[in-house]
Amino acid sequence: MKNILPFFLSLILLTCLASSAKAQNSGLAKDQNPRFEESRTKYMETADSINQYHSTTIQDTYKAIDYLVDRAEAREQRRAFRRELRLERARNGWYDYNYYGDPYLNSGYFGNGYYNNGFYNNRYNNGFYYGPSRYGRGSYYPGRYYNNTFLNSLPLALSLAWLLN
Amino acid sequence: MKKLMFAVALGAAVSVIGTSCSHKVTRIDPSEQVDLSGRWNNTDSRLVADEMIETILREKWLTEHQQANNNQRPVVIVGFVTNKSHEHIEAETFVKDVEQSFIKSGRVRLVQGGKKREELRAEKADQQTNASVSSMKKFGLEQGADYILQGSINSIVDSQNRKKVVYYQVNLELTNIQTNEVVWIGDKKIAKYIKN
């Protein structure tokens, strides 16, 4: 009798499982994939974030090769660079900026590191004095003209002398 | 001296009038073709809309749907349009024309999607606590779409010095949401030769 009881219990369990599986399958439409629930669960989580962009245009544009557009952009970049240069001069006084070497000017167009290494730095930055500036930040100064008050004020003095005569 | 003063005043008046007249705005017919830069403009958008409206309501997907569904009209939702061209193009300008044609024809039903649908649901949620019971709209009774309208915009640019040929291809496609079957693809190709 003891040997028969587990057999009956497992038979009842199997019957229950089979009937529940049959009930689940009966919820399927004709030819529907029985594993549809896996996909449903996955997409139920992402539906809201995707569907909010319905009726919109997703801008995935590219930059075309266009001679005139490229030329106009290069001109605009040169202007922006010169504007930045003038601003830097207005802030720090006029000194001989090396064209590509100044770390503050390199924040814009030339800030991609292309000119900020190797050849250009070696060529243009040699002989420049690097040290703390009057304004509390590092700057490149050409050694020859470093803070020469006499030479800096000479053009002004000559102009004044010419006007007063 | 008086003559001189008069001449100066006259000159100033002429310059003021001349400056004020330099800026001029005129209303034009939206269907008039005005090409200034050669970039995508309202004429291109209108051409695309005309072509899409012309074909989408004429093709067999519509009759096939009605035959398979007891003469029920198909319900469409508008999905994404991906702009993969070299210019910023808003597809809404021509997609709205297509949507309008659905409603005007009375042969296709349209349901709201995206942000507007979110807004509708938010309004419905608000009604649950603020509207009278008789006027309150219920959740779970939205019309499900049968088809989704999606699209893409592509372009090819070929330029040499001051000459340029720009080619746009706009595709709209209608897909059965249940089966993923594409039932209609509409396209409009526009090529422009631009000489600067």
Asked if A63's CB is within 8 angstroms of B114's CB, the reply is: no
Nearest to A60 among B84, B95, B115 (CB): B84
Q: Touching check for B119 and chain A: CB below 8 Å?
A: no
Q: Touching check for A59 and chain B: CB below 8 Å?
A: yes
Residue A21: the pLDDT is 52
- Interval A21-49 mean pLDDT: 83
- Interval A70-87 mean pLDDT: 95
Nearest-by-CA chain B residue for A62: B86
Q: Say what the pTM is.
A: 0.67
> How many Å lie between the alpha carbon of B180 and the closest alpha carbon of chain A?
14
Structure tokens at B186: 């509409």
Residue A22: the pLDDT is 53
3-state secondary structure of B9: helix
Asked if B118's CB is within 8 angstroms of A55's CB, the reply is: no
Comparing B18 with B9, the larger pLDDT belongs to B9
Q: b/e per residue, A128-146, with b = 16+ CB within 10 A? A: beeeeeeeeeebbeeeeee
Interface of A with B in 20-49 (CB under 8 A): none
On whether the CB atoms of residues B157 and A64 are closer than 8 A, the answer is yes
**Phi, psi (rounded to 5 degrees) for B195:** -125, 120
Task: Give the span between the Cα atoms of B30 and B48, in whole angstroms.
Answer: 15
Task: Give the span between the Cα atoms of B48 and B50, in whole angstroms.
Answer: 6
Asked if B160's CB is within 8 angstroms of A56's CB, the reply is: no
Asked if A68's CB is within 8 angstroms of B159's CB, the reply is: yes
Asked if A54's CB is within 8 angstroms of B79's CB, the reply is: yes
Q: Touching check for A156 and chain B: CB below 8 Å?
A: no
3-state secondary structure of A152: helix
Q: Touching check for B78 and chain A: CB below 8 Å?
A: yes
Asked if A56's CB is within 8 angstroms of B81's CB, the reply is: yes
Interface of B with A in 28-67 (CB under 8 A): none
Give the pLDDT band of residue A120 (cuts 50, 70, 90).
Answer: very low
> How many Å lie between the alpha carbon of B137 and the closest alpha carbon of chain A?
21
Give the pLDDT band of residue A33 (cuts 50, 70, 90).
Answer: very high
Asked if B155's CB is within 8 angstroms of A56's CB, the reply is: no
Task: Give the span between the Cα atoms of A133 and A141, in whole angstroms.
Answer: 9
Q: Touching check for A56 and chain B: CB below 8 Å?
A: yes
Residue A138: the pLDDT is 44
ipTM over 0.90: no
User: Which range among A23-32, B58-67, B129-138 shows the weakest confidence by mean pLDDT?
Assistant: A23-32
Q: b/e per residue, B101-135, with b = 16+ CB within 10 A? A: bbeeeeebebebbbeebeeeeeebeeeeeeeeeee
Comparing B50 with B14, the larger pLDDT belongs to B50
A51 chain-B contacts, CB cut-off 8 A: 113-114, 117
